[in-house]
Amino acid sequence: MNPEEFETALAKKGIILNERQLEQYQIYYDYLIEINQVMDLTNIVEKNEVYLKHFFDSLTLAWAYPNLQTQALKLVDVGAGAGFPSLPLKIAFPQLNIVIVDSLQKRINFLNQLIEKLELDGVQAIHQRAEIFGAKNASTRATFDVATARALKAMPMLVEMTLPLVKQGGVLLAMKGSRASEELRAASEAIPTVGGAVEAQIDVDLPNGDARKIVVIKKIKNTPAKYPRKFSDIKNKTL
């Protein structure tokens, strides 16, 4: 998917990008590749692949959850790495308020430099572990409309580390593949334990035929104060 195909595919979804936004995606790509030469940010480096598997894939959240396109939602991206999916969303929908949380300082440094190059307002990159960021005494707990995390794979771990950050009525948007149903079964106890309920599973196939499923988990009640637990417990003693 080259930049022209990227623009056309989004237009078919009703997402019209202006020249500045298209320029921002190009700046994003150029800087990602530049820094990736000295820092392991992504294994996907060919331009068409980045536009498809990073930029376009990130934006699938916007038609799985259309409020992202029009509302000034507060979104937290946990373990964002090189900024996916939150920064491609921010470029397309500048009204969003984005907080990116990552445990590695050098990734936060990259993201802050990228945010500056893209001239984005309403974006904050924070060096912190997600389970600490969402701890019971944190001012960030239960304050976000939307949470997402593309890097965290195990659904029980994902919900425990993200749902405490979401306020009641908000959602977790989990980006999954063909094993989404299997992962949901594994998280059948974890999701209600931390205050969530599965609202929808939405298929959003990529133009190359790759299958993607967005699992929408709604926050229906407050997360008990003991969650999230220490990372070692989250990892080794899943709910």
122 is in an annotated binding site: no
Sheet holding 166-176, edge to edge: 123-127, 97-102, 74-78, 144-148, 166-176, 213-219, 196-203
CA-CA-CA-CA dihedral for 223, 76, 60, 177, to nearest 10: -50
55 is in an annotated binding site: no
231 is in an annotated binding site: no
- The answer to whether the CB of 157 falls within 8 A of the CB of 79 is no
| Residue showing tokens 């999701």 | 191
189 is in an annotated binding site: no
Report phi then psi at 73, rounded to 5. Answer: -75, 150
Cα angle 147, 199, 77; round to 5: 10
14 is in an annotated binding site: no
Please list, in sequence order, all residues whose beta carbon lies within 8 angstroms of the beta carbon of residue 30, skipping any fewer than 6 positions away.
none
Q: How far is CA 154 from CA 17, 122, 190, in A?
A: 34, 29, 11
Residues belonging to the binding site for S-adenosyl-L-methionine are 79, 84, 130-131, 150
Residues belonging to the binding site are 79, 84, 130-131, 150
